[in-house]
Structure 1
Amino acid sequence: MIIIVCGVSGTGKSTIGKLLASKLQLPFYDGDDFHPKSNVQKMQNGTALNDQDRAPWLTQLSTELAQWESNKGAVLACSALKESYREILSTKCKEPITWVVLNGSKALLTERLDARKGHFFDSHMLTSQLNTLELPDYGLVINVALTPEEIIDTISTHVQG
């Protein structure tokens, strides 16, 4: 079972992904850990990534997903903002991926990003991500105004249902 928790920065992908992985007894991976240094540097400099920047990263993640799937599965936190990105991520998996899209208001996300310390992404790049986000008509779309516990319960019910 592969579950990808996605959405723009500040939605809590890593927090929810870790909690979900623990509950389901699956390994957790953060897509940010797979970015090449050039992508991280670009974001640290306040420049949004473009499709060309993301392509090798998404291709690598698709390979990793297939490997994790061949084991017992995994939970991945990954922005996956566009449908084309989700298609690349899905290319090497044999089974359908469970998609969980975390979504929230710009005000709430800005507040969360401004409270973060030591992360390479800051709130001034949020508008670019929100403009890029393509919400899918499949999977779960969950409002992050809910508590982490409510979000995990919603996902668990969906996965186990």
Structure 2
Amino acid sequence: MTVRIIVMGPSGCGKSTVGLALAESIGARFIDADDLHPITNVDKMAAGIPLDDDDRMPWLGVVGRALQADDRIVIACSALRRIYRDAIRAESSDAFFAELTVDRAALEERMRARTDHFMPAALLDSQLATLESLESDENGIRVEPADVERSVSLIRAAIGDPAA
């Protein structure tokens, strides 16, 4: 069974944690899309400057192509707007999106607690202003993560994994 999943949401929602746990549970490769950003994007965000669409679109093409590199793959990627998800789907039409929904206060707390990430908490509001949740015609699920195991279970059930 081919499985190409994007675990999405704003910074601090748990994309990498849930994505890695999901990949391990289904025997898939895991990629953090942050690792696919060009250094210019990383430098911009580290300086507290939000990315614009000119920054994001080439990166999203790389993310979509990375999905096609394997038949079983999970990528943690913000994919905040519909046009961003469309850019990924242009490269990987079978992409499944799992949106992690976390309230602003929890996101800010998590971002401030991180010391090993280039995305400063000061950019949280720009991320939330950009966020367009999954729409009913998109291939995916919205998950309110209570814990990692529950999130993984809900995503596995949504993709039709018989072991879920």
Q: Same fold (TM over 0.5)?
A: yes
Q: Extract unaligned runs of 5+ from structure 1.
A: none
Q: Counterpart of 1:67 in 2: which secondary structure?
A: coil
Given the alignment of the two structures, is residue 157 of structure 1 paired with residue 157 of structure 2, yes or no?
Answer: yes
Q: Counterpart of 2:25 in 1: which secondary structure?
A: helix
Percent identical pairs in the alignment equals 38
The 1-side partners of 2:128 and 2:83 are apart by 16
The 1-side partners of 2:96 and 2:64 are apart by 14
The 2-side partners of 1:92 and 1:51 are apart by 17
The number of residue pairs the alignment matches comes to: 156
The Cα of 1:92 is off from its aligned counterpart by 2.3
The Cα of 1:30 is off from its aligned counterpart by 0.5
**Which residue does the alignment assign to 1:142?**
143
**Which residue does the alignment assign to 2:73?**
74
The Cα of 1:67 is off from its aligned counterpart by 2.3
Q: Hey, which bits of structure 1, 4+ residues long, moved more than 6 A?
A: none
Asked if 1 retains the 8 angstrom alpha-carbon contact of 2:61 and 2:91, the reply is no
**Which residue does the alignment assign to 2:100?**
102
**Which residue does the alignment assign to 1:127?**
125
Higher helix share: 1
**Which residue does the alignment assign to 1:53?**
55
Q: Counterpart of 2:134 in 1: which secondary structure?
A: coil
The 1-side partners of 2:134 and 2:48 are apart by 27
The 1-side partners of 2:96 and 2:62 are apart by 19
The Cα of 1:124 is off from its aligned counterpart by 1.1
> Which amino acid counterpart does residue 33 of structure 1 have in structure 2?
D
Alpha-carbon RMSD across the aligned residues, in angstroms, is 1.2
> Which amino acid counterpart does residue 64 of structure 1 have in structure 2?
A
**Which residue does the alignment assign to 1:64?**
66
Q: How does the TM-score come out when normalised to structure 2?
A: 0.91
Q: Extract unaligned runs of 5+ from structure 2.
A: none
**Which residue does the alignment assign to 2:41?**
39
**Which residue does the alignment assign to 1:117?**
115
The Cα of 1:34 is off from its aligned counterpart by 0.4
> Which amino acid counterpart does residue 122 of structure 2 have in structure 1?
H
> Which amino acid counterpart does residue 127 of structure 1 have in structure 2?
D
The 2-side partners of 1:90 and 1:101 are apart by 15
The 2-side partners of 1:67 and 1:153 are apart by 25
